[in-house]
Structure 1
Amino acid sequence: MTKKLSALAATVAALAAVAGVVLGPAQASAASPTLVDARIAAHFDLAMGRTPENIALAPDGDAYVTFAAGRQVARISAHGGTRILATLPAPADGGIHTPVLGFALTTGIVRAHDGTLYFLYATGTPDLTGLWRLRPGGRPQRIAALPAGGLPNGLALDARTRTLYITDSVLGTIWRVPTRGGIPTAWSTAPELASTGFLGANGLKIRDGEIWATNLDQGTVLRIPVLRAGRAGRIRTEATELPGIDDFAFTGRGDQLLATLNGSNQVALVRPGGSHTIVLSPADGLQNPTSIALRGDTVYVLSAAYVTAKDPNLLLARLNK
């Protein structure tokens, strides 16, 4: 596993450089006190492939995460304990044909009100790549196949319409799948979702009848209204100049959001209109942050250490509104 992760880090670093992802400080204003009391709540074992990729919060304060390189779904307690809920089967080729990255990985995850977890698995093989479901006490099962030539990444659940939306970072597509499973529909293939050499459409959220997404290569935050009959409306760019942007979460103050900048090891506060300020940095313990979530004024940030290869972790901070 160590050899595999070393190769992964070299690959991601090289591809990030080609894509123009800044691995030094992002161009933004100085750190502000918007996030305070930052601390590392849990450290994960890199050698075991516990590179946390995405997060969904449980009502009791625990968090569900995907460990990308470990092909796992886990529950992290409020005290930092880790319990593995599922390990997905390895592809026959070991995952070497997974587009761009060359290793099989679990990515986006969401939790439904009944405790069912939905998550994504990218393997580069048609038998495993797709949308998976894990019911409480059950076993993981794939409920929708996605193209083996793509990289399903971000995941969002519209509980009202029982619909899941999925970003494909290689194919530049947002897919739509019913929660019962079935054949995915390409909901949007707008050029703003496309990759420019590494990974395109990435983070994904649903808010007030609109789909919000990030584009890692293009450093943008995008907004797409959901029209009648569920069709995609015209895409709009809400923020730019956020190189390496991965996941994001709304702060509860209108369109203001917090975004993880993977390559520069930072979290940015992005204001309506697109301006941003860096509110967490490597000094706080960030190691290629991949995902972010909020519960009340508590901010959860996952770091996968893909490039730094040091201390994947879960960081907690307080949002000072």
Structure 2
Amino acid sequence: MRKRMMTLAVALAAAGVSVVTVAPSSVAQAGTARASAVGPSTAPLPSRIAVHFDLANGQMPENIAMGPDGTAYVTFAAARQVAAVTPSGATRILATLPAPADGGVNTPVLGFALTTGIVRMADGTLYVLYASGDAATTGLYRLRPGRVPQRVAALPAAGLPNGLAFDAVARRFYVTDSVLGTISTVPLRGGHAEVWSSASELASTGFLGANGIKVRPDAIWATNLDQGTLLRIPLRHSRPGPVRVVATGLVGIDDFAFVGAGDHQVVAALNGPNTLVSIDAAGRSRTLMSGADGLQNPTSVAVWGRTLYVLSAAYTTGADPNLALATLPRR
């Protein structure tokens, strides 16, 4: 596990993403110091660390989907696992994705197989992305309650499928590939993946490009970690319109979520800087949480009522992967 983290730290540094590999107390100070680089701080959100995960067993939480009862469904990247975390904090492993024959050493950029994006359907079925560098196992998997995971769509082994979102109207998934710099679609029933956009705004500049993704009624939104951008791509009869850069300067941006029904406020995880930020309609960002609040390379965020669920993977800090809960102010 230490070797995997060192490999990732080197890759992050090469990509120009700030890397912290010091003691937890120093990590908190570093996260606070970087907050001013993102934007003016807000009053701290009331927050707490709700769950501590097992770093030694690869429990680096990468992505999250919420159930109606407040259960968080998460992917543990390095463990190749899917887990359910109950509102009381109990963690149950639901499935482990198959190890590739080479152990995952040929996974692009990272050098280890990992579970990434996750979507939960109304009937409890989970869909999960898996990047292994292996043509026989890389792809989109379906996990029905009480069943074993089944691959429903193959994805390029030379890429790194990362973000996953579902369009209930079109009945298809959108998948970002952080290495190939693309967004692809996969029908709900599974089958062939089709590249939907390969716009330059999705490209990597050396590490990871297109990352988080969300579906809105009239557009697809995505992030680019290397370029530090939040993007909006209009839906024009299911085809992509011109990409609009909504916000810039978001170093190490990973996944994100919308607050409320509109597109006026986004909350986003900035992985390397150890911060959670809000982004308004004008593209201005403000720090909501930092390393001082216990963030350890935050990877994703979900909104459930007035509660923010924030996952930290500790990819480079090497300390305390966790789930933090924060309370949004009343509107």
TM-score by length of 1: 0.96
Query: Does residue 225 of structure 1 match 2:221?
Result: no
Partner of 1:104: 113
Query: Does residue 135 of structure 1 match 2:150?
Result: no
- Aligned mate of 1:29, from 28, 31, 39: 39
| CA distance in 1: counterparts of 2:12 and 2:278, whole angstroms | 22
Partner of 2:9: 13
Partner of 2:314: 305
Unaligned runs of 5+ in 2: 20-29
Deviation of 1:133 (Å): 0.3
Deviation of 1:108 (Å): 0.1
DSSP-derived class of the 2:46 partner = strand
C-alpha contact 2:39 2:284 (8 A) present in aligned 1: no
| CA distance in 2: counterparts of 1:93 and 1:149, whole angstroms | 14
Partner of 1:244: 252
Question: After the TM superposition, which segments of 4 or more aligned residues of structure 1 sit over 4 Å from their partners?
Answer: none
Query: Does residue 159 of structure 1 match 2:168?
Result: yes
- The number of aligned residues is 315
- Aligned mate of 2:59, from 47, 50, 59: 50
Amino acid at match of 1:14: V
Deviation of 1:112 (Å): 1.0
Deviations 1:150-171 (A, max 9, x none): 0000000011221100000000
| CA distance in 2: counterparts of 1:30 and 1:9, whole angstroms | 31
Amino acid at match of 1:231: R
Deviation of 1:77 (Å): 0.3
Deviation of 1:18 (Å): 1.6
Amino acid at match of 2:39: S
Amino acid at match of 1:251: V
Query: Does residue 121 of structure 1 match 2:130?
Result: yes
| CA distance in 1: counterparts of 2:39 and 2:229, whole angstroms | 18
| CA distance in 1: counterparts of 2:38 and 2:146, whole angstroms | 45
C-alpha contact 1:62 1:75 (8 A) present in aligned 2: yes
TM-score by length of 2: 0.93
Amino acid at match of 2:290: S
Amino acid at match of 2:250: L
Query: Does residue 268 of structure 1 match 2:268?
Result: no
Amino acid at match of 1:32: T
Deviations 1:239-269 (A, max 9, x none): 0000100000111153210000000110011
Deviations 1:172-216 (A, max 9, x none): 000100010001000000000000000000000011221000000
Unaligned runs of 5+ in 1: none
| CA distance in 2: counterparts of 1:203 and 1:29, whole angstroms | 21
Partner of 1:291: 300
- What fraction of aligned residue pairs are identical, expressed as a percent? 61
DSSP-derived class of the 2:296 partner = coil
Amino acid at match of 1:63: A
What do you get for the CA RMSD once the two structures are aligned? 1.1
TM alignment of 1:182-261, pairs within 5 A: 182-228=191-237, 230-252=238-260, 254-261=263-270
| CA distance in 2: counterparts of 1:112 and 1:120, whole angstroms | 15
DSSP-derived class of the 1:11 partner = helix
DSSP-derived class of the 1:36 partner = coil
C-alpha contact 1:112 1:159 (8 A) present in aligned 2: no
Deviations 1:299-321 (A, max 9, x none): 00000000011000000000114
C-alpha contact 2:38 2:249 (8 A) present in aligned 1: no
DSSP-derived class of the 1:165 partner = strand
